[in-house]
Amino acid sequence: MSDGAAKITNKDGRTAELPILSGTHGPDVVDVRGLRKETGLFTYDPGFASTASCKSAITFIDGDEGILLHRGYPIEQLAEHSNYLEVSYLLMYGELPNQQQREQFEHTISRHTMVHENIRTFLGGFRYDAHPMAMLVGTVGAMSSFYHDSTDINNPQHREISAQRLIAKMPTLAAYCYARYTGRPLLYPDNSLSYVENFTRMMFGVPAEEYTPNPVVTSALELIMILHADHEQNASTSTVRLTGSSGANPFASIAAGIASLWGPAHGGANEAVINMLDAILYSGETIEQTIARAKDKSDPFRLMGFGHRVYKNFDPRAKLIQKMCHDLLADLGGDQPLFELAMELEKATLADEYFIERRLYPNVDFYSGIILRALDIPMNMFTVMFAISRNVGWISHWMEMHEDREFRIGRPQQIYVGAPRRDYPA
């Protein structure tokens, strides 16, 4: 794994020879673990943009080439041939399941979809207008008080049962958070339905009527969920790892990930896309005026759903979801003026020099926001949908961390820039 070394010398002349590590793909990495011991120096990297916090075998991203691999499989192939539960198995266990493993996994997940009855009561304690994300953070954290029997993080079986419970129960909890928000009755899961159908039934179904899943909605959500299942060491996944590194139980660790995802710079971006489109429609501004504002450096306005910190090429997930978005908008009715505006904006930016030069493409949030709107998923559920999908990524990283022999509690350093030592006034 080691290939060459980087030399760093401090001002006293003490030198550290830092090994260079190589992964399967991606740039080489300077292993700075010996730096402090050898030289007394440490590194400064706000935002961790130049720092690998762990070794991981789950997901690989090449932002320049627009590549996303899960356990080595390109996202395009998974989106075409797989489904969300199979991708979940792949992320968790490292290999695609054979038929028996697939059936066993689906059976296990479907047998864990119900939540403890007291969680339903617990949900009733939230204020009538609580945001579904606020309820989800709270109830997932509270799961540790209901499932004590699987919170020994040093027991691999406990870790696996917790992981399965989290995957199985997250759609139930998410649908219940929405039902509480709207005042609708909480339906029990129906294990004869698929993972996604079960969720949409609990979201939109009512006890007074038979629920018939809509195949267009099911396949659109299945795709969105596959595309959001994991994205290596993003903010929420790193939060789950950092929280879990202290030995916190899995439910508490995943609740921390949900809290991180909630921020508009992370999971809230697709909601921001719809807000922006609504605002443009409301103001009566033309596409040309909107684009001119986005380019104007004296105006803080940016086009939401364009550009990406990692992808400087078309986000491969956006490419996949773009086609579904175009098909859906052609088939479904709904908010036509908003959809037309979105498509005009997409076309105009893809032909605009400013966006081409800076490699600013529509990102996955641009299309997922529009699709979720077209599917009548309420805006305050957009980030919740993301949380249901990313849940398996968080869990897989949490499990991988606990199996990693190099794993230590996460504890970054700092550059202290406060007052020098001084005495309390006498």
Q: Is 81 a catalytic residue?
A: no
**Terminal-to-terminal C-alpha distance of the chain:** 59
Contact between 218 and 200 under an 8 Å Cβ cutoff? The reply is yes
Backbone angles phi, psi at 31, to 5 degrees: -85, 100
Minimal distance in Å, beta carbon 307 to ligand ACO? Answer: 2
**Is residue 369 at the binding interface for ligand ACO, with CB under 6 A as the rule?**
no
- At residue 79's C-alpha, the angle toward residues 261 and 397, to 5°, is 40
Contact between 83 and 222 under an 8 Å Cβ cutoff? The reply is yes
Q: Which of 92, 137, 89 is nearest to 384 (CA)?
A: 137
In this structure, which amino acid lies at residue 59? Answer: T
- Judged by CB under 6 A, the stretch of 161-169, 201-209, 252-260, 358-366 that binds ligand ACO is 358-366
* Alpha carbon distance 371, 220 (integer Å): 8
Minimal distance in Å, beta carbon 302 to ligand ACO? Answer: 4
Contact between 241 and 400 under an 8 Å Cβ cutoff? The reply is no
**Is residue 360 at the binding interface for ligand ACO, with CB under 6 A as the rule?**
yes
**Is residue 304 at the binding interface for ligand ACO, with CB under 6 A as the rule?**
yes
Q: Which of 66, 141, 244, 305 binds ligand ACO (CB under 6 A)?
A: 305
**Is residue 302 at the binding interface for ligand ACO, with CB under 6 A as the rule?**
yes
**Is residue 68 at the binding interface for ligand ACO, with CB under 6 A as the rule?**
no
**Is residue 358 at the binding interface for ligand ACO, with CB under 6 A as the rule?**
yes
**Is residue 238 at the binding interface for ligand ACO, with CB under 6 A as the rule?**
no
Backbone angles phi, psi at 166, to 5 degrees: -65, -45
Minimal distance in Å, beta carbon 180 to ligand ACO? Answer: 27
**Is residue 349 at the binding interface for ligand ACO, with CB under 6 A as the rule?**
no
Q: Which of 87, 173, 294, 321 binds ligand ACO (CB under 6 A)?
A: 294
**Catalytic member of 70, 112, 231, 308:** 308
- Judged by CB under 6 A, the stretch of 51-59, 107-115, 243-251, 306-314 that binds ligand ACO is 306-314
- How many residues touch ligand ACO (CB under 6 A)? 15
**Is residue 269 at the binding interface for ligand ACO, with CB under 6 A as the rule?**
yes
Residue whose CB is less far from ligand ACO, 265 or 330: 265
Q: Is 158 a catalytic residue?
A: no
In this structure, which amino acid lies at residue 124? Answer: G
- Judged by CB under 6 A, the stretch of 41-49, 180-188, 220-228, 301-309 that binds ligand ACO is 301-309
Residue whose CB is less far from ligand ACO, 53 or 194: 53
Question: 422 exposed, middle or buried (CB, 10 Å; 0-12, 13-18, 19+)?
Answer: exposed
**Is residue 316 at the binding interface for ligand ACO, with CB under 6 A as the rule?**
no
Q: Which of 150, 71, 45 is nearest to 396 (CA)?
A: 71
Contact between 345 and 370 under an 8 Å Cβ cutoff? The reply is no
In this structure, which amino acid lies at residue 40? Answer: G
* Alpha carbon distance 334, 220 (integer Å): 16
Contact between 301 and 294 under an 8 Å Cβ cutoff? The reply is yes
**Is residue 389 at the binding interface for ligand ACO, with CB under 6 A as the rule?**
no
**Catalytic member of 230, 335, 365, 397:** 365
Q: Which of 11, 21, 14 is nearest to 37 (CA)?
A: 14
**Is residue 266 at the binding interface for ligand ACO, with CB under 6 A as the rule?**
yes
- Given the rule CB under 6 A, which residues bind ligand ACO? 266, 269, 294, 302-309, 358, 360, 363, 365
**Catalytic residue numbers, as ranges:** 308, 365
